[in-house]
Amino acid sequence: MNKLIGKIELIQTENTNGNDKKVITLRNKKEVCFVQFQGYYVNKLQGFNMDDNVVIEIKYRGKISKQGIRHNNIVGLNIERV
């Protein structure tokens, strides 16, 4: 399982095609990453706030759009405080 460690900078709720998801902006020193929590996994974010130091278990999800554009998504599976 892949893991990311950092501080939550922002938590945003997005709605695409009727499906809610939350996107965490995670910062570690000079690096930044955007981690999506979707479906069942959105509930795992309850109780987490900006400036919390966390470890997030992730998986990579690559997709190719109908137009042939390649996208990489980082999907959160679990989150814990450090």
Query: Per residue, what are the HEC states of the chain?
Result: CEEEEEEEEEEEEEEECCEEEEEEEEEECCEEEEEEEEHHHHHHHCCCCCCCEEEEEEEEEEEECCCCCEEEEEEEEEEEEC
Per residue in 52-73, pLDDT (tens digit) is 999 999 999 999 999 999 999 9
Task: Give this prediction's pTM.
Answer: 0.88
Per residue in 13-34, pLDDT (tens digit) is 987 777 789 999 999 988 999 9
In the CATH scheme, what is the code of domain 2-74?
2.40.50
